Chain A
Amino acid sequence: MDAEITLRVDGRPRQCTVDTRTTLLDTLREHLGVSAPKKGCDHGQCGSCTVLLDGRRVTTCLAFAVAQNGAEITTAEGLAGDGEHPMQRAFLDHDGFQCGFCTPGQICSAVGMVDEARAGWPSAVTPDVAGSVDIDDLDDAEIRERMSGNLCRCGAYVNIVSAIREAAR
Chain B
Amino acid sequence: MIPFDYQPAENAEGAVATVARAPEATFLGGGTNLVDHMKLGLARPSLLVDVTTLPLDRIETLPDGGVRIGAGVRNSDAAAHPTIRERYPALAEALLSGASGQLRNLATTGGNLLQRTRCVYFQDVTTPCNKREPGSGCSALGGYTRYHAILGASSDCVAVHPSDMAVAMAALDAVVQVTGPGGQRDIPVVDLHRLPGDQPHRDTVLSHGDLITAVDLPPAPASRHSRYRKVRDRASYAFALVSVAAALDIEDGDVRAARVAFGGVSHKPWRARRAEDVLVEGPPTESTFWDAAEAELSDAEPLRGNEFKVPLARNTLVSVLREIVSEQR
Contact = CB atoms under 8 A, between A and B. Distances in A.
Interface of A: 1, 3, 19-21, 23, 42-44, 47, 50, 53, 56-59, 62-64, 66-67, 109, 112-113, 116, 119-124, 126, 129-130, 144-150
Contacts of B28: 64, 67
15 contacts: A20-B6, A20-B48, A21-B1, A23-B35, A42-B39, A47-B102, A62-B36, A62-B106, A67-B50, A109-B102, A119-B80, A122-B79, A122-B80, A145-B235, A149-B103
Main secondary structure on chain B at its contact with chain A?
mixed
A1 B96 contact: no
B237 interface: yes
B236 interface: yes
Contacts of B93: 124, 129
B86 interface: yes
Main secondary structure on chain A at its contact with chain B?
loop
Contacts of B36: 43-44, 62
Interface string B228-242: 000000011100000
Given A21-B3, A43-B39, A148-B237, A113 B89 contact: no
B27 to A, nearest CB: 12
Contact of B32 (A62, A113, A123, A148): A62
Top 4 A-B residue pairs of the complex, sorted by shortest distance between their CB atoms: A149-B100, A148-B236, A148-B237, A121-B80
B96 A122 contact: yes
Interface string B258-300: 0000000000000000000000000000000000000000000
Contact of A59 (B52, B97, B106): B106
A130 B31 contact: no
Contacts of A109: 101-102
B246 interface: no
Given A119-B80, A149-B101, A63 B31 contact: yes
